[in-house]
Amino acid sequence: MSRLRSRSGPVRSLVTVLVLVVVALVFASSAPAQVASGSRRPNVIIILADDLGYGELGCYGQAKIRTPNIDRLAAEGMRFTRHYSGSPVCAPSRCVLLTGKHTGHSFIRDNREVGGWGPEDAEGQWPLADEETTLAEVVRELGYATCAVGKWGLGGPGSTGHPCVQGFDHFYGYLCQRVAHNYYPTHLWRNHDVDVQHGNRYFSAHQRINAPLENEQAYERFRGGDYAPAAIAEEAITFIRDHREGPFLLHYASIIPHLALQAPQPYVERYPRQWDPAPYLGDRGYLPHPRPRACYAAMISFLDDVVGRILDTLDELGIGGRTLILFTSDNGTTYTGGCDRQFFNSLGELRGHKGTLYEGGIRVPLIARWPGRVPAGVVSDHISGFQDVLPTIVELSGGEIPQGLDGISFAPTLLGRAERQREHEHLYWEYSGGGGWQAVILGRYKAVRRNLRKGETHIALYDLRADPGESRDIAADHGEIVERARRIMRQGRRPSKAFPFPALDQAAGRSGE
């Protein structure tokens, strides 16, 4: 009997090993595309530009503005061609990014001010509710150090929306979007405390002149001594250095290139004087500038240099290989303030701009770089949106994705496993500004309703594959797709007490939904 045990022991051991191998193979083929067991969780840096258009980077076809460092991100990582912001304007787009819920379910659905425009008025926008769960809160539970720098816009001082109440260990920058209109503010915020910018005096970021000033030096009145984007960049670099052991989440919410037109003069001088035959007088909002086109390009170049500094810092610290960088923009190019989107071809063939739900308002760049994990030099046409960022990062960090989100992780696409990628049945937006909008993307098709506040009910349908410029309404030829979009527009949202949208809320009430 004992001899039988001695003979069968190796057989049983072999069988056990084979079973474990089979189980492991089955698990590997069916498990989600997350970081391998036992490996370090990646650091994550989200770089969020402000009003940067789809075509304002070299890697997306820009011919005039030089962006070598951001282009390097694309060369060393993955560039997405069908990525969408959360909203066509600032605050709701940022809410979607941080909470994983589209604007039919998100808490913040529009820019809603708290306070006023004067230097003594209260700061901030409508605050994110305390019960909302943010990306920062989720990854902090996984052991991440969390930091947000730049522009916030989801709650002012002392509110439930303050970043330090919403999962961020550290914040530095502008709590208020209105204050962020001026790149030379009297103060920024470090957590709950004011950080005085001693080189700056208060002046309004919205001024108009009736005629060009006597010379370029006269426009110095619209500048100060302390350039806020430089201070914000220093804070970000310091955070990376202080948390080099990781893991960390850095949410770098740049104020560039949102207006006003303000850039350090050496950056302006990088671009030709002949670009600007006439100064901008401030007649379309924000501040005058003697060389508006050169200044707009200069601001984007400044942001590009910051990206270069971040890459250099990661290389110096030897942590580039365990750091995922996502670069994107909160919405499309603006229509005001001296920005000349036609000159720069900022949106390519896309229709619309910031504040609209046409492609020019919501299709934005997305670049992902993670050396050794994200394939280099790849272009992806996977359809994704801001609501997907939270589940993607949580999956890559080995965490449990919260329930009730509208997002789908695109980690499989990032890791080169596109065959495992789940696709959205649809993407949804609503925006009560600009006359009232709704939009739904159904694969190659996009349905758009506009002028809802005026009672218009027509749904236009576009084939984005054949007509990315949304120039031909094909609704009459595709009634079934239009009706599917109509059902989603009616059923795929919930009314919001904080952000009522009567044209939609009343329709939901009449239908009993």
Give dist(CA 148, CA 323) in Å, integer.
16
Tokens of 183: 């790149």
Give the end-to-end CA distance of the chain in Å, rounded to a whole number: 73
Strand stretches in 237-338, DSSP E: 248-257, 323-329
| Average pLDDT value for residue range 418-431 | 97
- CATH number among 3.30.1120.10, 3.40.640.10, 3.90.400.10, 3.30.70.100, domain 427-511: 3.30.1120.10
CATH 3.40.720.10 in the chain is located at 43-420
- pLDDT band of residue 39 (cuts 50, 70, 90) is low
pLDDT digits (tens, 9 = 90+) for 263-280: 999 999 999 999 999 999
The dihedrals phi and psi of 393, each to the nearest 5 degrees, come to: -65, -40
| Average pLDDT value for residue range 69-84 | 98
Integer CA distances (angstroms), 486 to 17, 217, 325, 467, in order: 55, 56, 37, 21
Report pLDDT for 19: 39
Q: Which fold has domain 43-420?
A: Alkaline Phosphatase, subunit A (3.40.720)
DSSP bridge pairs for 328: 48, 366
pTM of the entire predicted model: 0.92
Residue 30 pLDDT more than 50?
A: no
Residue 173 pLDDT more than 70?
A: yes
- pLDDT band of residue 506 (cuts 50, 70, 90) is confident
CATH 3.30.1120.10 in the chain is located at 427-511
| Average pLDDT value for residue range 197-201 | 98
| Average pLDDT value for residue range 4-23 | 39
pLDDT digits (tens, 9 = 90+) for 452-504: 999 999 999 999 999 999 999 999 999 999 999 999 999 999 999 999 999 99
Integer CA distances (angstroms), 14 to 11, 19, 91, in order: 5, 9, 60
Integer CA distances (angstroms), 51 to 48, 211, 329, 427, in order: 9, 28, 6, 21
Stated length of the chain = 513
Residue among 251, 304, 254 nearest 135 (CA): 251
Tell how strand 78-80 and strand 83-84 pair up: unpaired
